[in-house]
Structure 1
C-alpha cells in the first residue's frame, strides 16, 4: 500500500471545492423556486437575503477548512499514514 500525502491533500481540496459548488447550485435552485412562491416582495427579499447569508457563511467555513488543511497537512496526513500502517499490520 502506497501513501501519498500530496495526492490525499489534492483529493481533499477537490472534494471541498466540489462541496462549495454543490452548495451554491442547490441554494440557487432553492432561492429561485422560493422567490416564485413568495406571497409578497418583502417575504421574497428576506428569503433571498437569508439564503445568500447562509451560503456565504457555509462558503467561508469551507474555505477555513481549506486553510486548515493547507496549514496542517503534514500533521494530518502523517497521522493518517500511521493509522493505515497500524491497520495493515493488524490484518497480517
Structure 2
C-alpha cells in the first residue's frame, strides 16, 4: 500500500472518530439539559430516580457503542476506508 493511500485512510479514520466523539459530547449535553429541565418539573422521587438512571444508561450505552465502533474501525481501517477510497476514486474518474 502506498504512502498516499495510507495518509488518506488515516485522514478519513480521524475525521470519522472526531465526528463520532463530537456526537457523543452533544448527546451528553442534550441529555443533561433535558434531564435538568425535567427534574425541575417532576416532584415524585421514584420518577426522578427512573429518569436519572435511564438517562445515565442511555449515555453510557451510546458512549460504549462509539468506543467499540472506533476500536473496530482502527482494527480494520485499511479494509473499510480502502474500499471507500477506491469507490470515491472510481466515481471521480467516471465523472471526468
The TM-score with structure 1 as length reference comes to 0.91
Q: 2:88 aligns with which of 84, 87, 92?
A: 84
Instruction: Please state whether the residue corresponding to 1:57 is helix, strand or coil.
Output: helix
1:70 and 2:74 aligned: yes
Q: 1:58 aligns with which of 62, 65, 68?
A: 62
Count of residue pairs the alignment pairs up: 91
Instruction: Give distance in 2, aligned partners of 1:68 and 1:14.
Output: 15
Determine the structure 2 residue equivalent to 1:38.
42
Determine the structure 1 residue equivalent to 2:26.
22
1:16-65 deviation per Cα after TM superposition (whole angstroms, max 9, x unaligned): 11011111000100111111111311111111111111111111111111
Instruction: Give distance in 1, aligned partners of 2:95 and 2:81.
Output: 21
List runs of 5+ in structure 2 lacking aligned partners: none
The TM-score with structure 2 as length reference comes to 0.87
Instruction: Give distance in 2, aligned partners of 1:61 and 1:23.
Output: 13
Instruction: Please state whether the residue corresponding to 2:43 is helix, strand or coil.
Output: coil
Moved beyond 4 Å, runs of 4+: none
